[in-house]
Structure 1
Amino acid sequence: MALEIAADGIGQWVGQHVWPLFRIASFMMTIPFVGAALVPARIRLGLALLMTILIVPMIGDVPKVDALNANAVVITIQQVLIGAGLGFVLTALFQLFVIAGQMIAMQMGLGFASMVDPANGVNVPVLAQIYTITVTLLFLAMNGHLVAFEVFLESFRTIPIGPGGLGPDAYWELAHRITWMFVSAMLLALPAVTAVLIVNISFGVMTRAAPQMNIFSLGFPIGLIFGLFAIWVLHANFLPHFDEYTRQTFDFMRSIEQVP
């Protein structure tokens, strides 16, 4: 007895696996700890395929759309945008600390001490690289990657696969996340930046009072020492800040819903 499979059944089966794969693969390509250049694309694709196979039974039915139809192309683009958008939100959390490290390094005179970031392939100050390593280790030690995957898989319930997709408000909120990133980085770096600024102002007053004093030979090392001391003091509250920003990130990822 020959096994007969209808064309609609094949289209349903393919759509039920391909569309979640596009969303998961887009998410894998953009998140920091997996989407970095250090992780080969084959490994990311393999993880995306494995996650797709595991979660397909939990998704349920997907819209029955012909593979060559324009609606199928629209749904595919929407899945890519949803996965990339959620990954961008998580990337903003890590870049927040990179920007904060750059602000502090530039203010205290460590802007010239840069190194190549192997994850992104660009030159960043050493302090920003230290913050990146610290945040990554904290995120993995606190099982943040498991929570990130859990929140992402919840998107298949809050934003089901279909022609609806994200609305203009959701895209605007994703774009506005850049503002949150810079504001949070400024708040994180403000104590150290203020401390170094006070030292520079003090040396400016001293130079005005005693012009013969060489400000470059004294101000730079003392400003660097005060900057390192401010960083050491800030590390005492590094974990609470990281926990708060992580909670805000996951809450924002859960708040993104489908257009009504």
Structure 2
Amino acid sequence: MPSVLALTDAQIGTWVASFMLPLFRVAAVLMTMPIFGTTLVPKRVRLYFSVAITVVIAPSLPPIPEVHALDLSALLLIGEQIIVGAMLGLSLQLFFQAFVIAGQIVAVQMGMGFASMVDPTNGVSVAVIGQFFTMLVTLLFLAMNGHLVVFEVLVESFTTLPVGSGLDLTHIWELVGRLGWVLGAGLLLVLPAITALLVVNVAFGVMTRAAPQLNIFSIGFPLTLVLGMVILWITLGDILNQYQPLAVEALQLLRSLVKAR
């Protein structure tokens, strides 16, 4: 008689856990990170991509603790993987939002705060300059293989922060503390443009004081708008030197959150 393959509950639980638990971490990263986690990428595509990545990396992962599908410990492990993955994705969102804030500040200073458009990635109205900065940082991030570094850190996180090792609340507080860094980074990005536009506005104020009969509002607004575009065009020539240190710091934060080298 042909032999019958007998599988125990422990073996089935180990096989399922070795695939399902990493899948939740990978899916959480792809659902929350910029570019892949936006509404432009359908959820079904993100899910298929998560499954494909998990299938590729599963054989090289360290041993996964045995879990039982109907046990409370399985739900706790799943929640842990979702929190770790979401923490990685949100840390990248902070980096991208620094450029969005920079665009919003410049738009208000140059008088283009009213010129808004719907951001297709988030579904909200943002200033046109902010949307331009978002597209710019997205192209720079992809051109410099930032997404490959993210996937490398994600795979390494299963070794440095294995499944079932528990969560370190200090890393979560570190991520919350970076919210101030986002505002500071956005200000530093557009500080030259803000300074130049401030000088322009001060000059218009002096002109209004010296010649009150001039209708400064009729010529000041279009002139500020044109000069703002020229200043923005000039400052974009140095955007790469401003992008690199911010990207390095964001990726170092990503590694520190999972204790990677």
Could you say which residue in structure 1 is the equivalent of 2:109?
107
Q: 2:62·2:162 contact (CA, 8 Å) conserved in 1?
A: no
Could you say which residue in structure 2 is the equivalent of 1:24?
26
Which sits farther off after the overlay, 215-224 or 16-25? 215-224
The 1-side partners of 2:131 and 2:77 are apart by: 38
**Aligned letter for 2:179?**
I
Deviation at 1:65, TM superposition (A): 2.5
The 2-side partners of 1:166 and 1:223 are apart by: 51
The 1-side partners of 2:239 and 2:167 are apart by: 34
Could you say which residue in structure 1 is the equivalent of 2:196?
195
Give me the CA root mean square deviation: 1.2
Q: How does 1:50-199 map to 2 (within 5 A)?
A: 50-162=52-164, 164-199=165-200
The 2-side partners of 1:151 and 1:167 are apart by: 17
The 2-side partners of 1:176 and 1:86 are apart by: 15
The 2-side partners of 1:242 and 1:156 are apart by: 29
The 1-side partners of 2:105 and 2:130 are apart by: 9
Q: TM-score, length-normalised on structure 1?
A: 0.95
Q: 2:30·2:89 contact (CA, 8 Å) conserved in 1?
A: yes
Which sits farther off after the overlay, 19-28 or 195-204? 195-204
Decide which of 6, 13, 16 is 2:15's aligned counterpart: 13
Instruction: Classify 1:257/1:132 alpha carbon distance in 2 versus 1 (closer, same or farther; 3 Å).
Output: closer
Question: What is the percentage of aligned positions where both structures have the same residue?
Answer: 48
- 2:251 aligned with 1:232, yes or no? no
Equivalenced residues, count = 257
Q: How does 1:209-220 map to 2 (within 5 A)?
A: 209-220=210-221
List runs of 5+ in structure 2 lacking aligned partners: none
Secondary structure in structure 2 of the residue aligned to 1:35: coil
**Aligned letter for 2:182?**
M
The C-alpha deviation readout for 1:79-124, integer Å capped at 9, x for no partner, is: 0011011001111111111110010001110011111111111111
**Aligned letter for 1:46?**
Y
Deviation at 1:216, TM superposition (A): 0.9
The C-alpha deviation readout for 1:15-35, integer Å capped at 9, x for no partner, is: 111111100001001111111
The C-alpha deviation readout for 1:174-218, integer Å capped at 9, x for no partner, is: 111221111100110111111111211221122122222112112
Secondary structure in structure 2 of the residue aligned to 1:74: helix
| Runs of 4+ residues deviating >3 angstroms | none
The C-alpha deviation readout for 1:110-149, integer Å capped at 9, x for no partner, is: 0111111111111111111111111111111222211111
Secondary structure in structure 2 of the residue aligned to 1:123: strand
Could you say which residue in structure 2 is the equivalent of 1:33?
35
Q: 1:195·1:226 contact (CA, 8 Å) conserved in 2?
A: no
**Aligned letter for 2:210?**
A
